[in-house]
Structure 1
Amino acid sequence: MARRATPPFRADHVGSLLRPAALHEARAAFAARSDGIDAAELTAAEDQAITDAVKLQEDAGLESATDGEFRREQWHSDFLYAIPGIRKGALGAPLPVYRKDGAISWTPNVTEITGKVHLEQPIFGDHFAFLAQTVTTATPKLTVPSPSMAHFRADLSKSPYADVEEFRADVAATYAAEVAALYELGCRYLQFDDTIFAFLNDPAWRANASATGLDPDRQHEINVAVINAALAAKPADMAVTVHMCRGNYRSAWFSSGGYDFVAEGVFGGLKVDGLFLEYDDERSGTFEPLRFVPDDQIVVLGVMTTKTPELESADALKRRVEEAAKYVDIDRLCISPQCGFASTVEGNSLTIGEERAKLERLVATAREIWG
């Protein structure tokens, strides 16, 4: 066994990082407008925060680095609402979000489709360009919401689409154009973040999907087909991974359940280079579904939680890898935190110092396992 020269890496991470206080203050000042700062000053504050975040990742020993998603409010909405034909609608129904000590709520906006979905210019292209010129030792990694997030439960009532299949085909074509544009900008490591695959493992979410007119027994297969269509022309030297998330908002989660319901169709069906899978606690189920992962895919085990500050021991992390290796050859395994540290601007309930300690422990453990 040895270190990996191409992504995903033995010690990797999902993408979002805790925003520093100075960036929170700059965003608040920009929002206030009255005695605040202008757009150029906000961009300068973001640039500095991203520069510091890249250094944190490289100093920790990570071989990939993201911009922490510091220019976004949320992991998905900033991207989705930048796609021509997709509009941020009114607030929908509040959703319960769970913690070990109770529940809170989060209210999403409705995703409205107002025109034919297409791409005019690369989304987050400028984000990637700044990241690429900022890294010194790490591979720049861009994260974007999965195509599933664009077409799952989208409101077509005000759209020109009479056929949902045509809409999904346009979503796939839009993402294919985005992938091609990012490749031209030099992106060689791209991650699709997807909550729907994991949510469909939760019986409560499947029941909810059925109540809204979706087919919970086939939705994961539909999502696989759209992702594969989006990646059909992906260049061979561009690594694309999918992160399957159960929700991440202020240290809370949206769903529970192992990957058993979708594993065969999703693990065996997705034409991607790697899978980031959450395996940080009992909500994740067993490693047994990993038997469906094909031999040409890498599995990044999310064995470290980003939801609490407690630092996992290297021995505990190594035991989890040993369990997973019963189903996937250890040479095709990597490790990461289970999710981002701040999927929304608020972030999870830990400090940047605790975040750094987790990333350092992850790298040190990977070196002990793989050299």
Structure 2
Amino acid sequence: MYKIKPPFRADHVGSLLRTPEVKESRMKWKRGEISAEELRAIEDKGIAETVKRLESTGMKSITDGEFRRDYFHLDFLKELAGVTVTGGIDANPNAKAAEDGFTPPKVSVTGKLKHVKDIQVDDFNYLKQVASCTPKVTIPSPTMIHFRGGRKSIDINSYPDMDEFFHDLSQSYRQEIDALYKSGCRYIQLDDTNLAYLCDPKMRAAAQERGEDPNELPRTYASLINSVIDGRPDDLTVGIHLCRGNYRSTWFAEGGYEPVAEVLFNNINVDAYFLEYDDERSGDFAPLRFVPNNKVVVLGIVSSKSRELEDPDDLRKRIDEAAQYMPLENLCISPQCGFSSTHHGNDMSHDDQWRKIELVVNTAQKVWGES
């Protein structure tokens, strides 16, 4: 039976639209017009105001909106020794305009991986000061260092043996999570695009071209994630969010969860899964039949990509459909992704964002009767 709290019946993935002041100040900092200390003070103010607004909706899961990041993953990964961020990847085929045909730079491993400093601890310490409800820290899944480039993106001299690479990667993550726990963090979410990308036939074919086995990769990634989180304290909740791309309301992959479902739900020892289910790209709910009774699924049925507000009755029907495959008491709901996976933000206003979050909270209250 589901007894985990968090996640909450109404939850959210993490990133929120930056305030205009935070966006403008980050650009000023990049141009050298203000110092890092000045930028952080402005971010502090924006986070405090946004946390207050988020809590006013009734949301119990509180993040800093990822206001201090350019990208949901790069700002974290580049702080690990041995990681290099360079160039870009192929243009996004789903971009809505020419100027959006831009995608994040590549991550490669150019030396020995090592956790040389706490990455999210200072940010968490500020968040817990300004949050009245449960603070959540979102960090990129450790798989994010491997999938896009595979073996070719990992320096052969540093890591002639891939087992050693996975060992050092795991150790680096364990040290960061341990530091967060010691600071009081009890809710962590791993953001993982790769397991969702392995649901897409084109992405699977591309992995094969890189010399990877798309049928074996989910097991490899399950082992990696477990090596990071196994043995964690009982009061630390760890969830994983699967994403098919979210840059400025666009996407990169499509396909239902069936190709990875059995391994995803039974071989990865997380407490909860935040799953995109906002449109047909994510397939149907049938893969949820593999979810064991001690785990939770947070249904991302409210889109963070479009301004249009979903119909509450339609949302309740979709929850009922999902409950045909697993117990209703093991389900929660959320937006399908963050609202600003990069500093640019998705194609909606702040008012649109808050209406979406309020809809999630109100729907959860009607379905489960919990405030």
Same fold (TM over 0.5): yes
Show the counterpart of 1:144: 139
Q: Is the 8 A contact 2:198 2:259 kept in 1?
A: yes
CA distance in 1, matches of 2:35, 2:144: 31
Q: Determine helix, strand or coil for the equivalent of 2:240.
A: strand
When residues 107 and 99 of structure 1 are mapped into structure 2, their CA distance, relative to the original with a 3 A threshold, is closer
Q: Determine helix, strand or coil for the equivalent of 1:130.
A: helix
Which is worse superposed, 292-301 or 20-29?
20-29
Shift of 1:85: 1.6
CA distance in 1, matches of 2:171, 2:146: 12
Q: Is the 8 A contact 1:97 1:252 kept in 2?
A: no
Q: Determine helix, strand or coil for the equivalent of 2:248.
A: coil
Q: Determine helix, strand or coil for the equivalent of 1:303.
A: strand
Q: Determine helix, strand or coil for the equivalent of 1:265.
A: helix
Show the counterpart of 1:322: 320
CA distance in 2, matches of 1:8, 1:255: 26
Q: Is the 8 A contact 1:67 1:131 kept in 2?
A: yes
Q: Is the 8 A contact 2:111 2:155 kept in 1?
A: no
When residues 28 and 181 of structure 1 are mapped into structure 2, their CA distance, relative to the original with a 3 A threshold, is same
Shift of 1:166: 1.0
Letter in 1 for 2:146: H
CA distance in 1, matches of 2:115, 2:77: 11
Letter in 2 for 1:322: D
Show the counterpart of 2:14: 15
Show the counterpart of 2:35: 38
Shift of 1:151: 2.6
Q: Is the 8 A contact 1:94 1:108 kept in 2?
A: no
Residue from 60, 78, 87 that aligns with 1:91: 87
Residue from 104, 108, 111 that aligns with 1:108: 104
User: 1:78 aligned to 2:72?
Assistant: no
Residue from 208, 211, 214 that aligns with 2:212: 214
CA distance in 2, matches of 1:65, 1:197: 25
Q: Is the 8 A contact 2:186 2:236 kept in 1?
A: yes
CA distance in 2, matches of 1:147, 1:92: 20
Q: Deviations over 1:227-247 (max 9, x none)?
A: 001011211100000000001
CA distance in 2, matches of 1:353, 1:279: 22
Show the counterpart of 1:170: 168
CA distance in 1, matches of 2:156, 2:168: 16
CA distance in 1, matches of 2:244, 2:128: 29
CA distance in 2, matches of 1:263, 1:108: 27
Q: Is the 8 A contact 1:91 1:107 kept in 2?
A: no
When residues 97 and 72 of structure 1 are mapped into structure 2, their CA distance, relative to the original with a 3 A threshold, is farther
Q: Determine helix, strand or coil for the equivalent of 1:310.
A: coil
Letter in 2 for 1:139: T
CA distance in 2, matches of 1:308, 1:21: 20
Which is worse superposed, 348-357 or 92-101?
92-101
Instruction: In structure 2, list runs of 5 or more residues that go unmatched.
Output: none
Q: Is the 8 A contact 2:189 2:241 kept in 1?
A: yes
Instruction: In structure 1, list runs of 5 or more residues that go unmatched.
Output: none
Which is worse superposed, 333-342 or 216-225?
216-225
CA distance in 2, matches of 1:78, 1:39: 15
Show the counterpart of 2:186: 188
When residues 331 and 105 of structure 1 are mapped into structure 2, their CA distance, relative to the original with a 3 A threshold, is same
Show the counterpart of 2:304: 306
CA distance in 2, matches of 1:333, 1:99: 32
CA distance in 2, matches of 1:317, 1:268: 27
Show the counterpart of 2:247: 249
Show the counterpart of 2:120: 124
Shift of 1:102: 9.7
Q: Is the 8 A contact 2:89 2:106 kept in 1?
A: no
Shift of 1:113: 1.7
Residue from 244, 250, 263 that aligns with 2:261: 263
Q: Is the 8 A contact 1:97 1:104 kept in 2?
A: no
Letter in 1 for 2:66: E
Q: Deviations over 1:241-268 (max 9, x none)?
A: 0000001000000000100100011111
**Runs of 4+ in structure 1 displaced over 4 angstroms?**
99-104
Q: Percent of aligned pairs with the same residue? A: 46
Q: Determine helix, strand or coil for the equivalent of 1:96.
A: coil
Shift of 1:110: 2.7
Q: Determine helix, strand or coil for the equivalent of 2:138.
A: strand
TM-score by length of 2: 0.95
User: 1:59 aligned to 2:51?
Assistant: no
Letter in 2 for 1:18: L
Q: Alignment RMSD, CA only? A: 1.8
Q: Is the 8 A contact 2:82 2:110 kept in 1?
A: yes
Q: Deviations over 1:198-231 (max 9, x none)?
A: 1011000011111111111211111111000101
CA distance in 1, matches of 2:4, 2:260: 30
CA distance in 2, matches of 1:103, 1:202: 25
